[in-house]
Amino acid sequence: MNKLKAKTFELRQNALDMIMNAKAGHIGGDFSVMDILSVLYLKQMNISVENQNDPDRDYFIMSKGHSVEAYYSVLAAAGFFDIDTVIREFSQFGSPFIGHPNNKLPGIEMNSGSLGHGLPVCVGIAIGAKKDNRPSRVYTVMGDGELAEGSVWEGFMAGGHYKLDNICAVIDRNMLQISGGTEEVMSHEDLEVRIKAFNWNVIRVNGNDVDELDRAFEEAKTVKGMPTCIIADTIKGFGGGEVMENKAPWHHKVPTEEEYRKISAELSRRREAALNE
C-alpha cells in the first residue's frame, strides 16, 4: 500500500497542474478526496477500460462533481485517458475535459456538479442490479456540504428501505464547504446517528489513510441487508501542507506561482516519505 499512498501525491500534483494551466478548479476538495478515489479505482472497484460496458461491472458516481480534477487524475491512472492531454486541455475552449464530470467521456457514468444527485441515482442503479441478479456494487462520493441537499436524504431513506446492501456511499467529511465550516453553514452532527437512523451501516475512518479506507471497503462488502455509508474524516487541501490544509478559501482558489512551488515541494516530500515508510 506504500506505493498507492505515494501515488496519491503524484495524482494530486496532476490535479494541481490542470488547475494551474486552466487558472480554474476546485483544489481543496480534490486534495481531500484523492485517497478515497485512488483506493476505489486502483484497488477496490471492478471497473476498468476493458469492462466499462459490461453490465456486471461496479458503478461509480462522482456526486461531488466539482472535484473533477481529482476524478480525471484517477481515471487517467486507471487508463481511461492520457494525463498529459488532460493537463493541457482541461477547461480550455472546445475541450472534452470540462470543469465538471460529463458522461461523453469514457469511464464517467453520469454528469454531475449540481450537488445532491449521486446517491439517489445510485439507489436506482442498485435496485436495477438486484432485480437483474447482477453482482455489481454501486459507489458514490459526496461532499459534506452536499448533505444540505434534501435529495441526499431521500437517497438515504430509499437505500435503507430497500435494504440495498450493494451500495457503498462515501462522505468526504472535511468539515468545510464553499463558504466556510459545514457546522456553521448547515450543521450535520451527529452525522453517524442521523445516517444510522435511516437503517444504514456506518463505518468511520481516516479518509486520508489508504489502509483504513481499503479495510472499510472490504468490510462493507460483507454487510448484508443494509447499505453502508463510510464517513471519511479528511482534511480539505490534504497534502498541500501549511499553505492549503483546512482553509476554506482553497475551495476554488488558484495558487500563485510561489504557492504552486510550495505545494509541489510538499507533495513530493510526502511522496518520498510514503515510499520510504
Ligand X SMILES: Cc1ncc(C[n+]2csc(CCOP(=O)(O)OP(=O)(O)O)c2C)c(N)n1
Site residues (vs Mg ion, CB under 5 A): 143-145, 174, 176-177
Look-up of cell digits 507533495: 267
Is residue 39 within 8 Å of 214, Cβ to Cβ? yes
How many chain residues interact with ligand X (CB under 6 A)?
A: 22
Contact between 144 and ligand X (CB under 6 A)? yes
Shortest Cβ distance from residue 258 to ligand X (Å)?
Answer: 24
Nearer to ligand X, 4 or 178 (CB): 178
Candidate ranges 7-15, 118-126, 140-148, 267-275; the one touching ligand X (CB under 6 A): 140-148
Contact between 112 and ligand X (CB under 6 A)? no
Give the three-class secondary structure for 168.
Answer: strand
What b-and-e string marks burial along 56-85, b requiring 16 or more CB atoms within 10 Å of the CB? Answer: ebbbbbbbbbbbbbbbbbbbbbbebbebee
Read off φ and ψ for residue 158, nearest 5 degrees: -70, -40
Contact between 174 and ligand X (CB under 6 A)? yes
**Binding track over 205-244 against ligand X, x by CB under 6 A:** -------------------------------x--------
Contact between 113 and ligand X (CB under 6 A)? yes
Look-up of cell digits 445510485: 122
Is residue 140 within 8 Å of 64, Cβ to Cβ? no
Read off φ and ψ for residue 253, nearest 5 degrees: -85, 145
Contact between 29 and ligand X (CB under 6 A)? yes
Is residue 198 within 8 Å of 156, Cβ to Cβ? yes
Nearer to ligand X, 115 or 243 (CB): 115
Question: Bridge partners of 79?
Answer: none
Contact between 202 and ligand X (CB under 6 A)? no
Nearer to Mg ion, 139 or 250 (CB): 250
**Would you tell me which residues interact with ligand X (CB under 6 A)?**
26, 28-29, 32, 64, 66, 113-116, 143-146, 149, 172, 174, 176-178, 236, 251
